[in-house]
Amino acid sequence: MILFPNCKINLGLNILRKRDDGFHDLETVFYPLMIKDALELVPNSQHPASSINFSSSGFSIDGDPATNLCVKAFNLLKTDFPELPAVQMHLHKAIPMGAGLGGGSADGAFALKLLNDSFNLDLSTEQLVTYALQLGSDCPFFIINQPCYATSRGERMTKIELDLSAYKFVVVNPGIHINTGWAFSNIVPSVPKRSIQETIGQPISTWKNELTNDFELPVAKEHPAISSIKEQLYAAGAVYASMSGSGSTVFGIFEKETSPALDFPSSYFMAIV
- Three-state secondary structure string covering 55-108: EEEECCCCCCHHHCHHHHHHHHHHHHCCCCCCEEEEEEECCCCCCCCCHHHHHH
Helices (H) and strands (E) in the chain, counts: 9, 12
Sign of CA dihedral 206, 207, 208, 214: positive
Across the chain, where does the E strand assignment appear?
Answer: 2-3, 6-18, 24-36, 38-43, 52-58, 87-93, 148-151, 156-159, 167-173, 240-243, 250-255, 269-272
Residue of 93, 138, 214, 230 marked active site = 138
Task: List the beta bridge partners of residue 86.
Answer: none
Choose between 153 and 125: higher pLDDT: 125
Cα separation of 210 and 230, whole Å? 16
Give the chain's length.
273
**Which pLDDT score, from 0 to 100, does residue 64 have?**
87
- The pLDDT confidence band at residue 22, using thresholds 50, 70 and 90, is confident
Q: Is 62 a catalytic residue?
A: no
- The pLDDT confidence band at residue 199, using thresholds 50, 70 and 90, is very high
175: number of Cβ within 10 Å: 13
Choose between 189 and 63: higher pLDDT: 189
SS3 of 39, please?
Answer: strand
Cα separation of 35 and 272, whole Å? 9
Question: β-strand 269-272 against 167-173: which pairing, if any?
Answer: antiparallel
Q: Is 138 a catalytic residue?
A: yes
* pLDDT above 90 coverage of the chain, percent: 86
Q: Is the pLDDT of residue 244 over 90?
A: yes
What is the DSSP code (8-state) at residue 205?
A: G
**Which pLDDT score, from 0 to 100, does residue 30 have?**
97
**Which pLDDT score, from 0 to 100, does residue 221 have?**
95
Residue of 8, 36, 72, 230 marked active site = 8
Cα separation of 83 and 228, whole Å? 53
Average pLDDT over residues 117-142: 95
Q: Is the pLDDT of residue 102 over 80?
A: yes
**Which pLDDT score, from 0 to 100, does residue 3 have?**
98
What is the reported pTM?
Answer: 0.93
- The pLDDT confidence band at residue 122, using thresholds 50, 70 and 90, is very high
SS3 of 224, please?
Answer: coil
CATH of 2-159, one of 3.40.120.10, 3.30.230.10, 3.10.129.10, 3.20.20.410: 3.30.230.10
Angle at CA 146, nearest 5°, toward 144 and 152? Answer: 70
Can you name the CATH fold of 167-272? Alpha-Beta Plaits (3.30.70)
Cα separation of 159 and 162, whole Å? 9
Domain-by-domain residue ranges, the chain?
A: 2-159, 167-272
Name residue 162's amino acid: L
Average pLDDT, the chain: 94
**Which pLDDT score, from 0 to 100, does residue 40 have?**
98
Average pLDDT over residues 164-178: 95
Tell me the longest C-alpha to C-alpha distance in the chain.
59
Q: Read off the pLDDT of residues 33-72 as tens digits, 9 standing for 90 and up.
A: 999 999 999 988 776 666 899 999 999 998 888 899 999 9
